[in-house]
Amino acid sequence: MGFLQVQCRHHLGRHLPRSRAEPGIQPSLPRILQPRSHSGAITVKREGGARSPPSCHIGDIHQMTTDSGKTMAVGAATAISDLTRKRRRRREMLYRLCALPAILTTVCITLVPMGLLLWLSLQDQRDGGFSLRYYIATLTDPFFLRTLGTTLSIALGVTVTSIILAMPLAYLLARKTLLRNVIMPVISVPRMLPFVVVGYAMILLMAPVTGVLIQALNALGIVDGPIFFLFDWPGQAIAFGYSGIVVATAVLSGVLMSVDRQLEQAAVSMGASPLRAFREITLPLAVPGIIAASALIFTTIITAYSVPVILNGRVPYMISIIIASNLLTLQQHHLAYAQAIIVTVIAISVTVAAQLVLVRYGRRS
């Protein structure tokens, strides 16, 4: 043991701390090389054969090694985390740069004109001073309020009807792959048609005298004579309903395809009827799609102009006709600006409300 201690001091002496204890005590060897006592503790030999009290155990070496490994692991994890964070920041910056053209286009095409419209609606058309007279005149006009109520009623009725009629078709398209491949292209075509084409198609089909559908009904003896409903609010509701059903079907079919069919199958295997499984499992999962489709259809109808101007009769039922009349015919530009701002605020409020409902529903679910 004495020879071993001398060799260890020769090779490791520069790494071993000098003892600051009594002058007679020699510097201690590494713990793994120190002799053991019967109790498992490491001892240090004194000059003259005396032994120091037990100092530490071999388990301390394992603890020191473990702590060192943990420190290295934490350092490596920190470095990896910093690198991942930098890469994430670079990706976010790239995404923002990619979205910059769309943001600039939206600002130039939407926000700037809307800001100018708001500014002009707050100016008096006679002297150019600040005034709220056009908003007051609009909100106290019985004819405007009645037309606005009719517009909102038509939009709400068409929205609800479109969702109800589109849900079964969307469910079939989501569950039947062959049917989806055949019908989905047919449904996608009307989505690309502008409202002008839809309006003139309604005239060709349901014109009071020359409409193809009206002539067929007269030939079959179901009706006798012309039917004057196309150029009234029912005709406009039918035209909007045609477009609304197409939009709702496209949105709802995409949502229903993301619903796991095994949930319905599990409910049916536990004794629930298919209708109950749809009502209690599938329908709640499709609520986000229903809300999104409803907001899209509603805001599209209250801001539409092409269909109302084509199918307009003697009495205007849509608010866009009044705005266009004040702007183009009566030359009351600032009044038309105020009315347009009011309709825009309603549309934005519906969109924001739908978004808030979606966020709350997502948190609850």
Residues 19 and 144 in one domain: no
Tens of pLDDT, residues 199-231: 888 888 888 888 888 888 888 888 887 888 888
Q: Are residues 41 and 173 in the same domain?
A: no
User: How many CB atoms sit inside 10 A of residue 52's CB?
Assistant: 13
Number of domains in the chain: 2
Judge whether 193 lies within some domain. yes
Kindly report the pTM of this predicted structure.
0.69
Residue 92 lies in a domain: no
**Per-residue confidence in pLDDT tens, the chain, 365 aa:** 444 444 444 444 444 444 444 444 444 444 444 444 444 444 444 444 444 444 445 555 545 555 555 566 555 667 667 667 777 788 888 888 888 888 888 888 888 888 888 898 888 877 777 888 889 988 999 999 999 999 999 999 999 999 999 998 888 888 877 777 777 777 777 777 777 888 888 888 888 888 888 888 888 888 887 888 888 888 888 889 988 998 899 899 888 888 888 887 888 888 878 888 888 888 888 898 999 999 999 999 999 888 888 888 777 778 999 999 888 888 888 899 999 999 999 999 999 999 998 888 877 76
For residues 215 and 316, membership in a common domain is answered with yes
- Number of Cβ within 10 Å of residue 236's Cβ equals 27
Give the integer Cα–Cα distance in Å for 351 and 110. 16
- CATH classification at residue 150: 1.10.3720.10
Structure tokens at 201: 């198609």
Residues 30 and 173 in one domain: no
Rounded Cα gap, residues 253 and 83, in angstroms? 41
Q: How far apart are the first and last CA of the chain?
A: 73
Do the beta carbons of residue 304 and residue 195 sit within 8 Å? yes
Containing structural domain, residue 5: 1-57
- Residue position matching structure tokens 């009623």: 153
pLDDT tens-digit series, residues 16-72: 444 444 444 444 444 444 444 444 444 444 444 444 444 445 555 545 555 555 566
Give the helix, strand, coil percentages of the chain, each rounded to 5.
75, 0, 25
In angstroms, rounded to a whole number, what is the distance separating the alpha carbons of residues 177 and 294? 25
Note the pLDDT of residue 32: 44
Residues 180 and 286 in one domain: yes
Claim to verify: residue 190 and residue 332 sit in the same structural domain: yes
Contact call for residues 134 and 335 (beta carbons, < 8 A): yes
Distance CA(58)–CA(135), nearest Å, equals: 88
